[in-house]
C-alpha cells in the first residue's frame, strides 16, 4: 500500500504538492492546538472580555472583600482589553469593615434588585457561580464564571471554579501574574486582592490551599502596607464599642450559652460585632445578642461548637411567635421580631423578652444536647 502510494506520488507532481500542503496545514493546526492547550486561563478570559463592548461584573449579594477585590481584578482585565466594566451586586454592602473597603478603594458599586437593573446582559460572575438575590436572577446566563465555591454554575464562554481554593482573589491574582510579563500591578489592586485573600481565610488560618500563600507572596511585592492596615483595621464606630460593653456586662450565661439583651441600637451591625466579641469568652460556645431598632428586635447568633447549629436553633426559638423570622448557617445566624407583637399586641398573647431569652438558651442548649453522643 505504501509502495502504491509512493508510485502514485512519483507519477503525479500535483499529488506531491497536495500532500506537502496537507502536512504543512496539519503542522500549523498542531502548533495552534498546543498553544491553546498550554495558554493560561487568563488568556481565554481576556479574549472573552475583549469580544464585548461592555460587561457587568456581578458579585454575590451583600459582597465581602473577596468578592469586591475579585470584581476589581476582572474590571482591570476588561478595561485593559478596551471593554467597559460595571460592578454590580444584590443586597447591600453590610458591616463597617466592608464599607471601609469600598471607601478606601473608592469603589463605584451599583446595587440591583431586578434583572432589568443590570447595566448590560453580558455578565461575569465572581465569588459565586449562580446568580442569586434579585428578581429574574435565574434567567441570567453568565458569559464567564470565576469562583471558589462548590456548585454547578457555568459561564457560556468561560468557567474557572476551584473549590479547593480559600479565596476567589487567589485565582485572580494568578491571572494577573500569568499575564504580567514582569509588569508592576497597580498598588490598590494588589492591596485589595491581598486583603481579599486574608479576609476570606481569616489571615491564612482557615480553608487555605498552598495557592493562598503563594499569591499572598506575589501580591505582597506590589501592595502598600499602610493601605492594607487601613482596610484591615478601620476605625470602629463608637456605638460598636458601647454595644460590646453592654453585651458583655449584661450577659446571662447558662452552661455554655450566653444571651445578652443590649436594648436600643442605632446600627444593627453592632449586634453581630458584639456577638463575635462575646463568643471569645472562656467556656462560652454559643451566643445570641438581642437589640431593638425602630420597633424591630434583631437577633445575632454565633457558635464555636460544630454541634450547635445556630440558624436552626434561632429558628426553633422564635417558632410560633407572630411576625418573626430567624435562620442562618451552622456558625452564624440572625433573626427579626416585631416588638409590639412580642408585647402582646396582635393575634398572639405575646412572648415577653425574658421568655424569649429563656427560649433562646433552651434552643441552643437542647440543640447541643441532642447532637451530643451519649
Q: Provide, rounded to whole angstroms, the least separation between the CB of residue 232 and Mn ion.
A: 16
Least distance in angstroms from the C-beta of 26 to Mn ion: 44
Q: Report the b/e string of 308-334 with b at 16+ CB within 10 A.
A: bbbbbbbbbbbeebbbbebebeebbbb
Nearer to Mn ion, 70 or 104 (CB): 70
**Spatial distance between the Cα atoms of 202 and 60, rounded to a whole number of angstroms:** 19
> Nearest approach, Cβ of 247 to Mn ion (angstroms)?
28
Closer of 68 and 356 to Mn ion (Cβ): 68
Q: For Mn ion, which is the closer residue by CB, 66 or 122?
A: 66
Distances (CA, A) of 200 to 114, 265, 323: 28, 28, 34
- 67 within 8 A of 60, measured Cβ to Cβ: yes
In whole angstroms, the minimum distance from the beta carbon of 200 to Mn ion comes to 4
How far is Cα 14 from Cα 192, in angstroms, rounded to an integer? 63
Q: Cβ of residue 309: shortest distance to Mn ion, in angstroms? A: 22
Nearer to Mn ion, 200 or 269 (CB): 200
- How far is Cα of residue 28 from the mean position of the Cα atoms in its chain? 43
The residue to which cell 451599583 is assigned: 110
Q: Are strands 324-328 and 296-303 parallel, antiparallel or unpaired?
A: unpaired
Q: Which is nearer to Mn ion, 149 or 307 (CB)?
A: 149
Smallest separation (angstroms) from Mn ion to the CB of 215:
13
8: left (phi over 0), alpha (psi -120 to 50) or beta: alpha
Residue 160 or residue 200: which is nearer to Mn ion going by CB? Answer: 200
Q: How many CB atoms lie within 10 A of CB 346?
A: 14
Cell of 183: 509588569
Question: Residue with the closest Cβ to Mn ion?
Answer: 66
Strand order in the sheet with 144-147: 109-112, 84-90, 54-59, 123-126, 144-147, 158-161
Is the Cβ of residue 102 or residue 248 nearer to Mn ion in the bound state?
A: 102
- Other residues' Cβ atoms within 10 Å of the Cβ of residue 278: 23
Q: Minimal distance in Å, beta carbon 55 to Mn ion?
A: 20
Closest CA to 92 of 65, 110, 116: 110
Query: Closer CB to Mn ion, residue 166 or residue 291?
Result: 166
Residue ranges binding Mn ion (CB under 5 A): 66, 127, 168, 200
Choose among 122, 52, 66, 117: nearest CA to 89.
Answer: 117
Residue 111 bridge partners (DSSP): 89
d(CA 162, CA 215): 15
* Residue 118 CA: distances (Å) to CA of 57, 61, 143, 153, 327: 10, 14, 14, 19, 29
Is residue 271 within 8 Å of residue 265, measured between CB atoms? Answer: yes
CB 196 to Mn ion: min, Å: 7
Query: Closest distance between Mn ion and the C-beta of residue 67, in Å?
Result: 6
Residue closer to Mn ion, measured from CB, 157 or 198: 198
**CB of residue 125 vs Mn ion: minimum separation in angstroms?**
12
**Beta carbon nearer to Mn ion, 200 or 285:** 200
Amino acid at each position: 500500500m505504501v509502495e502504491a502510494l509512493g508510485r502514485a506520488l512519483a507519477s503525479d507532481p500535483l499529488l506531491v504538492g497536495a500532500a506537502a500542503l496537507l502536512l504543512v496545514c496539519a503542522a500549523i493546526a498542531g502548533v495552534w492546538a498546543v498553544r491553546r492547550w498550554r495558554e493560561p486561563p487568563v488568556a481565554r478570559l481576556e479574549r472573552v472580555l475583549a469580544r464585548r463592548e461592555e460587561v457587568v461584573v456581578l458579585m454575590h449579594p451583600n459582597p465581602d472583600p473577596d468578592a469586591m477585590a475579585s470584581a476589581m481584578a476582572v474590571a482591570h482585565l476588561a478595561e485593559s482589553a478596551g471593554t467597559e466594566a460595571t460592578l454590580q451586586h444584590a443586597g447591600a454592602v453590610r458591616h463597617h469593615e466592608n464599607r471601609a473597603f469600598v471607601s478606601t478603594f473608592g469603589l463605584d458599586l451599583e446595587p440591583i434588585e431586578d434583572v432589568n437593573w443590570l447595566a448590560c446582559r453580558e455578565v461575569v460572575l465572581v465569588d459565586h457561580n449562580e446568580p442569586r438575590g434579585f428578581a429574574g436572577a435565574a434567567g441570567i446566563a453568565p458569559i464567564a464564571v470565576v469562583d471558589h465555591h462548590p456548585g454547578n454554575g457555568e459561564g457560556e464562554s468561560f468557567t474557572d471554579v476551584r473549590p479547593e481554593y480559600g479565596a476567589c482573589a487567589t485565582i485572580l491574582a494568578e491571572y494577573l501574574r500569568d499575564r504580567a510579563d514582569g509588569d508592576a500591578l497597580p498598588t490598590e489592586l494588589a492591596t485589595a486582592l491581598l486583603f481579599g485573600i486574608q479576609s476570606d481565610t481569616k489571615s491564612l488560618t482557615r480553608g487555605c490551599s498552598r495557592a493562598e500563600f503563594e499569591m499572598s507572596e506575589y501580591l505582597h511585592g506590589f501592595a502598600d502596607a499602610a493601605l492594607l492596615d487601613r482596610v484591615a483595621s478601620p476605625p470602629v464606630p463608637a456605638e460598636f464599642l458601647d454595644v460590646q460593653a453592654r453585651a458583655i456586662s449584661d450577659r446571662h450565661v447558662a452552661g455554655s450559652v450566653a444571651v445578652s439583651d443590649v436594648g436600643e441600637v442605632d446600627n444593627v451591625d453592632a449586634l453581630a460585632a458584639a456577638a463575635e466579641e462575646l463568643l471569645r469568652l472562656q467556656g462560652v460556645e454559643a451566643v445570641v445578642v438581642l437589640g431593638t431598632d425602630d420597633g424591630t428586635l434583631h437577633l445575632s447568633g454565633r457558635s464555636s461548637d460544630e454541634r450547635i447549629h445556630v440558624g436552626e436553633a434561632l429558628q426553633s426559638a422564635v417558632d410560633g411567635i407572630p411576625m418573626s423570622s430567624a435562620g442562618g448557617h451552622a456558625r452564624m445566624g440572625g433573626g427579626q421580631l416585631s416588638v409590639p407583637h412580642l408585647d402582646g399586641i396582635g393575634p398572639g398573647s405575646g412572648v415577653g423578652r425574658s421568655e424569649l431569652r429563656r427560649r433562646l438558651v433552651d434552643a441552643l442548649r437542647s440543640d447541643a444536647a441532642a447532637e451530643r453522643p451519649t
